[in-house]
Amino acid sequence: MIDKWLIPASCSPLHRLYGQINIVEIAAPSDDVKDHLSKEIISSYRHLEHLKINFATKNEADLRKYIKEYVLPSDKNQITKNVRQGDFSEVLASLIVSFFQGKIVPLKKMKWKFNKDRSVFSTDMFAHNDGDVISDLYYYEIKSRLSTKNKETVKPLTAYITVHAHNSLLKDQQQPNEAIADFLNRYYLEFGDQASAAKYFDIVMNPGDYNKGFELFFIIESTKFNTAILDDLENLPPGLSPLNVTIVLIKDLAKLILDLKDRAIEQAVNEVFPKP
């Protein structure tokens, strides 16, 4: 479904260490595409089957209240709006690497939030190759911006978002950074799946035995894209290798995120209380 909206287009390398891929719209997202995206969004926060169980003896108003108070980030201030935008970006990034690159994203972090209005700490996204044997690990820093015209300050540095994203992922990699694999080990042990648990625990204990790749993933309003953000990134000294950059350009990004929030609520309602 996602390929009816987006398509990857390889670009010439930004730098000898950076491969760039642009993901561009081939058409405005249709209602079918939006419904697909909104179902992925609500499913990234809660299992729909679990909602059916929890609300089997309750009504639609109860479900809507629950989603508003416990599931989706609120509109109460700019911080929570930024969280919603960031959550959307992680869902879209997961769909893109799964669909177009065939990678496995083993964890939907947003299901495990304790505070819906805060982002989940740790590396933004972790993926690995498909198949019985895990050999290749991928680590992502994901950023979304409605405009990239101005530099941003993350003390003490003022730079474009690309540089801050690079530095954040580099910082993660300069310390033990297999927290997601460690969580997956514990998760599978809780459910008695010792084979899956062992795969992820081996990553924790023997991270040097795996091939590693790093990616900066930017989801940006297409009408406010500033190519200078790539120049700044290219000028950085090599720190992560191999490092790839994905730029996703979407028109009317803010409007789309709001639309998908509303549709996500309706997806949950329609799944739990289907119309006759």
Q: What is the pLDDT of residues 244-264, one digit of tens each?
A: 899 999 999 999 999 999 999
- Give 174's DSSP letter: T
Is 269 in a helix, a strand, or coil? helix
pLDDT at 269: 98
pTM score of the predicted model: 0.92
Residue range of the domain that includes 263: 2-272
Q: What is the pLDDT of residues 188-228, one digit of tens each?
A: 999 999 999 999 999 999 999 999 999 999 999 999 998 88
DSSP of 97-153, one letter per residue? HHHHH--B----GGGG-S-TTSPPPS-SEEEE-SSSS--EEEEEEEEEES--SS-EE
Greater pLDDT, 228 or 128: 128
CA-closest candidate to residue 161, choices 96, 260, 89, 104: 89
The pair of structure tokens assigned to 164 is 């801050």
The pair of structure tokens assigned to 238 is 């090599």
* Residue type, position 90, single letter: E
Q: What is the pLDDT of residues 46-83, one digit of tens each?
A: 999 999 999 999 999 999 999 999 999 999 999 999 99
For 33, 97, 173, 240, the CA distances from 126, given in Å and listed in that order, are: 25, 11, 12, 16
Distance CA 191, CA 188 (A): 5
Is pLDDT above 60 for 13?
Answer: no
pLDDT at 12: 52
The pair of structure tokens assigned to 37 is 């995206």
Asked if 142 and 93 touch (Cβ cutoff 8 Å), the reply is yes
Confidence of residue 276 (pLDDT cuts 50, 70, 90): confident
Q: How many domains does the chain have?
A: 1
Distance CA 90, CA 142 (A): 7
